[in-house]
Amino acid sequence: MIGYGDRARTQCEVVRLFRGTHPDLPPLNQSTISKIEAQYREMGHVRKVPSKRQAVVDDDTKLNSLLALEENPVTPARQLALDKL
């Protein structure tokens, strides 16, 4: 595991070192270190990544889109979306 400083450390060593270095911060546990390490190995960084949320579309908008598509079936989906703005 890549820890703190110039050498590889176990997750338990990282927890102890963090607690000693930052006694004023809430303590980390081994599972937190494990999650951080997994994110670093997967993404190459540990910054928080905003989650992708699906846009909420109300029923009226859905119905209007379907009606517009029924009127003109060759209308691109992008154009339907732009018309609703």
pLDDT in tens, 41-75: 888 888 887 777 777 778 888 888 888 888 888 88
DSSP structural state of residue 23: T
Can you read off the two tokens belonging to residue 38? Answer: 């997994």
Can you read off the two tokens belonging to residue 39? Answer: 């994110």
DSSP structural state of residue 1: -
Residue 85 has pLDDT above 60, yes or no: no
Cut 0.75: pTM above it? no
- Give the start-to-end residue ranges of the domains of the chain: 1-51, 54-85
Q: What percent of the chain has a predicted confidence (pLDDT) above 90?
A: 6
